[in-house]
A and B are shown apart, each in its own frame.
Chain A
Amino acid sequence: MHFYKEVLHVEEQLKQLEQEALAKIEAAANLKELNDVRVAYLGKKGPITDLLKGMGKLSAEERPKMGALVNTVRENVTAQLEVKVAVFEEAAIAEKLATEAIDVTLPGRSIAVGNRHPLTRVIEEIEDLFVGMGYEIAEGPEVEKDYYNFEALNLPKGHPARDMQDSFYISEEILLRTHTSPVQARTMEAKKGESIRIICPGKVFRRDNDDATHSHQFMQIEGLVIGENIRMSDLKGTLDALAKKMFGAEREIRLRPSFFPFTEPSVEMDISCFKCGGSGCNVCKKTGWIEILGAGMVHPNVLEMAGYDPKKVSGFAFGIGAERIAMLKYGVDDIRHFYTNDTRFLSQFERTEG
């Protein structure tokens, strides 16, 4: 009988302890107070432990029952503790986050970026188009022999067309190249009769006073194709691809007869105006067409001088001014901008195009 009373007593004590502990947990204001509760009730010196220690007095039958009861109380208290800890931790994090909030509209730390010069941009775009069509890129000296600049291109000394390109001479036989055509002449000489597909970009020079539309130095890109059965229709198709790449897929081209000593027949190529689409505006001077480049079928004298047999092979060539393309494409109004290197100008060519 005594024993039963003892058990009852312990059970009550436990319940009471549980109630007390839960109330204290509920009342705890911070993590420290919670920890105090944990130590006070569940610690090695706490009352529950004490009760467990007293279990030795119990009978073998009663002991497990008692143990289960103690564990239940412990679990309840522990669970409630964990819930409360989580609440406090969350609040602590929320507080930390609140103090760490930033003004996301402040400017980022900018990364220094430069970009290609607009002329390089134009040239690379053309290079990549032609490399895709099986061309190589040929380069040559800016200071040329009169032979490669003129004579090998069917412009013998005293030729009236030399008037068209007043040049910077270094000596009787050496000058700053007036076009990149000497690269073509050199390539033909080096290829010794093999077929050729090249693009020749580079700096060229003319004896002009610098103003809004003239520059004594400018960039040219020329193309040359030589092989069996190269036709004028191939030239036209190639120029059409170039026009569409540089000025948009809707562009149409037209060829007009012209004259260059190194080609026969010779043509000028116009594109339909990209601004007005052909209805007439300021860009195309109300004609609907914009003159873009000169081209033609390689003159048999040029082929012959470079060791090709004009009876067996034919070819076409074209030349385009990088400044002219850039001025039209980007609406640049003064050629001198390309050579003053004002960063307010250069930085406008940073992004990709739509």
Chain B
Amino acid sequence: MLVSLEWLKDYVSTQDLAPEVLAEKITRSGIEVDAVIDRASGMDKVVVGHVVSKEKHPEADKLNICQVDVGEAEPQQIICGAPNVDVGQKVIVARPGAHLPGGIKIKKAKLRGHESNGMICSLQELGIEGKLVPKAYAEGIYVLPADAEPGSDALALLGLRDTVLELGLTPNRSDALSMLGVAYEVGAILSEEVKYPEISYKTSSEKAEDVLKLRVEDLQANPMYVAKVVKNVKITESPMWLQHRLMAAGVRPHNNVVDVTNYVLMEYGQPLHAFDYDSLATGEIVIRKATEGETITTLDDQERTLKASDLVITNGKEPVAIAGIMGGANSEVTEKTTTVVIESAYFDGLTVRQTSRDLGLRSDASARFEKGVDPNRVVPAAERAAALLAELAGGEVLEGTCIVDELDKTPARVVVSPDFINERLGMKISLEEMLTILDRLKFDVEAANGLLIIDVPTRRQDIKIEEDIVEEIARLHGYDEIPMTLPEGAQVGRLTPYQEKRRVVRNFMEGAGLYQAVTYSLTSESLSQRFALKTEPVTRLLMPMSEDRSTLRQSLVPHLIEAAAYNVARKADSVALYEVGSVFLGQSAEGQPVEEEHVAAVLTGKWVDHAWQGEHKAVDFFVLKGIVEGLVGKLGLGERLSFVKAEVDGLHPGRTASILLDGEKVGIIGGLHPAEQKAWGVKDTYVMEMNLVALLAASANEAPLGYTPVPRFPAMSRDIALVLDRATAAGEVVSVIRAANVKLLKDIRIFDVYEGEKMEAGKKSVAFSLTYFDPERTLTDEEVVAAHNKVLKAIATIEGTEVR
């Protein structure tokens, strides 16, 4: 809402406060002033000129050499390129030395050999948006009224010596979508009274009811409809003051009739519409629901197809307007119009909103109906418009009003106790102070039996309950006055075990050298299931903004690879990222996808790069596997973890494993497939993803920490080197050894793996170090040999395996 202070002063005193001071007061008490706009900012030396003569520039077709009287002894020669400049016009002249918006400074100049002492201006050159400039002047200079005094201040005449406050209104404060509404707000803040415009006009002897028949078929969607009829109007431009007030409010002037409806809309917040009576042709207005598929061409020349839920104004036969949204072209007021029907109505907000949405058509009118207009301003607004048409268009207002009125106009009653108000605020405001504030708001209030009985004016439809009164009292008393306390009573605050362990997981990953990434939950449908631990039906948005953000992810990996690729493309040598986030799987009984929190990581490039001491290590499968083992170990689940070779689409078929917990799959780990690496633009890259919920759930059942005595007796170790088939996994050997259940065997370590030319084709050598230990005593050689023999016997059962 744009509020011209010059206009506002018609209704309320602003106590001559500086605009910034007033703006601050309005902001602090409830309505945010987004901007304070000085409309004449930076402009000077802009005066009224009278074009005395005009001749074609001999050197340039499009230029005219004008002699312009600017109130001095001699006219000034000014060259003007506007097509509409003409002798006798009063125009806006920027004198040499003048400053105009956009840092423009006017100087004396020569244009193709002829002197020009200034510039004849368009409204755009004075900083008025092109879309607000009346169409007649949109492509040229603006023409001032004939009675304008040459040499006088054109900015004052144009209403630009004014400040506009731009209000950022929250949806509840639709009462401030009008000058009168703002006047009430300012009046409440400054303790000033609000003055309404005086309405008076002479009526003709003819009666409105006799020329116009009104019928409302849907009283639920249209509980009140008022029509005034004005005859013998003369369609002209509106007077200057009206035009510039509309432009200040962000409305483009058209002609006096349309401008009056818009002016009253801005003044009262009540949308009006003017019909050309003769175009209605039937002398009838019938408001009804549209028939499905019915069409109307609206004022913007668009043909609109309607639904049965849309409300239309008709002439008894066909629609002439979409109720509360936009008029029809078939009943538009034109230059030929002589009789006007003014509509002022109350349309149901939900109906207007639905139609507005369906048609994708919003207007100043629909915005106000959607939020609910003041039922008590429907009639005054119609009367105000009639008076202005009589005054500005020479119209004769027919006696009486066509009206259908089933609208409840009683004020809302709110009963609240002063104690309740103070308890809610945590402060002490006296009853007198409360009564003063309510009086400033112009709420009817009666204090009885320790209660405030308040009748809220219908313009404030946002005030319905006690808490609304608490807010009104508090905001006008001042939020700065509220003291600072903390809630009474102590409570135990804590993280849940899951939340604590998730922090442990994050700390571990960061300690391991990975940065935490946060990526988007939405991805493309084609990436949504890529690398997923498990796939379920995907969840797609109804109306995605782009295909890239259309579907909820089932794996964290694609966006992590994308982030790694982004870094690699910016010359990062190595990237190590992890993410903790949810994936979205299938659909639960509740209708939503099942959300499961996962942890994932991506590594690429170097892992160790300590060049000057010759220490280098590229990222590989085992670097990432070590991180997984460390993390799972940190959660106390190391003994229950295993890896088994697996295949995942997009990962290297020979370098991919499923991560198992107690034999159940909880994750995947692997190198990116070379084709995939090429597509993403990365070199050797490794990824993993685990189901964090499953891990932490398993971890929750682990035994609490306890002490085991530190061993007092030495352990003994024996090494063995095995020749295995290349396809035999070392882990298989370990499993076989473990399965032999040799009591003294405490640890199995692999310390060497060799595949190469010294080996027989298809074979490899793997060396194990086996540790034997008894916590109760030192083992004898015989005991170790006996245990080791059991191990060797177990190994012998693996086909194609020999001890070297």
Contact = CB atoms under 8 A, between A and B. Distances in A.
A112 interface: yes
B521 A264 contact: no
A131 B493 contact: yes
Contacts, number: 240
Contacts of A171: 542, 591
Contacts of A164: 171
Given A216-B545, A238-B487, A231 B521 contact: no
B733 interface: no
A52 interface: no
A78 interface: no
B366 to A, nearest CB: 11
Given A144-B592, A267-B479, A227 B489 contact: yes
A203 B520 CA distance: 9
Contacts of A139: 499
Given A217-B521, A232-B425, A342 B29 contact: no
Contacts of B563: 340-341
Interface stretch (B235-243, B259-267, B303-311, B568-576): B568-576
**Most chain B CB inside 10 Å of its own CB: which residue of A110, A300, A343:** A343
Nearest to A121: B516
B171 A259 contact: yes
Contacts of A343: 515, 567, 572, 575, 577
Interface string A312-354: 0010000000000000000000000011111110110000000
B519 interface: yes
A238 B486 contact: yes
A116 interface: yes
B424 A314 contact: yes
B424 A257 contact: no
A347 B521 CA distance: 23
Contact of A112 (B426, B506, B512, B543): B512
B26 to A, nearest CB: 11
Contact of A114 (B482, B510, B518, B520): B510
Nearest to B509: A114
A107 B609 CA distance: 12
A300 to B, nearest CB: 6
A207 interface: yes
Given A134-B491, A143-B592, A264-B465, A115 B485 contact: no
Contacts of B455: none
Interface residues of B, number: 94
B480 interface: yes
A309 to B, nearest CB: 14
Interface stretch (A7-15, A55-63, A155-163): A155-163
Contacts of A106: 612
A42 interface: no
B607 A257 contact: no
Given A143-B539, A300-B465, A257 B590 contact: no
A179 interface: no
B552 interface: yes
B281 interface: no
B424 A297 contact: yes
B595 interface: yes
B517 interface: yes
**Most chain B CB inside 10 Å of its own CB: which residue of A174, A231, A341:** A341
Interface of A, secondary structure class, is mixed
A217 B518 CA distance: 10
B222 to A, nearest CB: 17
Interface in B532-553: 539-545, 549, 552
Interface string A182-196: 000000000000010
B171 A163 contact: yes
Given A135-B493, A257-B475, A259-B171, A115 B582 contact: no
Interface in B473-491: 474-475, 479-480, 482-491
B712 interface: no
Contact of B485 (A174, A203, A233): A233
B741 interface: no
A200 to B, nearest CB: 12
A265 interface: yes
A168 interface: yes
Given A131-B494, A256-B28, A340-B563, A231 B485 contact: yes
A23 interface: no
Interface in B411-441: 423-427
Given A112-B607, A170-B540, A225-B487, A145 B471 contact: no
B370 A257 contact: no
Contacts of A338: 518
A131 B495 contact: yes
A205 B474 CA distance: 33
Which of the four size classes fits the interface of chain A?
35 or more
A198 to B, nearest CB: 10
Contact of B427 (A131, A145, A225, A233): A233
A189 to B, nearest CB: 13
B79 to A, nearest CB: 41
A136 interface: yes
Interface string A100-127: 0000001101111111110110001001
A234 B492 contact: no
A195 B506 CA distance: 31
A43 B220 CA distance: 129
A166 to B, nearest CB: 10
A157 B514 CA distance: 45
Contact of B592 (A120, A141, A197, A339): A141
A257 B479 contact: yes
Contacts of B495: 127, 131, 137
B371 interface: yes
B30 interface: yes
A265 B425 CA distance: 10
B353 interface: yes
A322 B630 CA distance: 31
A137 B499 contact: yes
Contacts of B572: 343-344
**Most chain B CB inside 10 Å of its own CB: which residue of A124, A168, A205, A217:** A168
A169 B485 contact: no
Contacts of B426: 231-234
B577 A341 contact: yes
A305 to B, nearest CB: 14
Contacts of A267: 479
A28 interface: no
Given A109-B610, A143-B593, A346 B521 contact: no
Contacts of B492: 134
Interface in A201-257: 203, 205, 207, 209, 216-217, 219, 225, 227, 229-234, 236-238, 240-241, 254-257
A130 interface: yes
Interface string B56-68: 0000000000000
The 10 tightest CB contacts between A and B, nearest first, are A112-B513, A233-B426, A231-B426, A265-B471, A259-B170, A134-B491, A237-B484, A341-B563, A257-B30, A264-B467
20 contacts: A109-B610, A112-B607, A115-B515, A136-B494, A164-B171, A168-B522, A168-B543, A169-B543, A171-B542, A176-B522, A176-B541, A205-B522, A233-B482, A255-B482, A257-B475, A297-B424, A338-B518, A341-B517, A341-B566, A347-B515
Interface of B: 27-30, 32, 170-173, 349-350, 353-354, 370-371, 423-427, 465-468, 470-471, 474-475, 479-480, 482-496, 499, 503, 506, 509-522, 539-545, 549, 552, 563, 566-567, 570, 572, 575-578, 581-582, 584, 590-593, 595, 607-608, 610, 612-613, 615
Interface of A: 106-107, 109-117, 119-120, 124, 127, 130-137, 139, 141-145, 158, 160-161, 163-164, 168-171, 173-174, 176, 195, 197, 203, 205, 207, 209, 216-217, 219, 225, 227, 229-234, 236-238, 240-241, 254-259, 264-268, 297, 299-300, 314, 338-344, 346-347
Given A169-B541, A174-B592, A339-B520, 4 more contacts: A136-B493, A232-B426, A343-B515, A343-B575
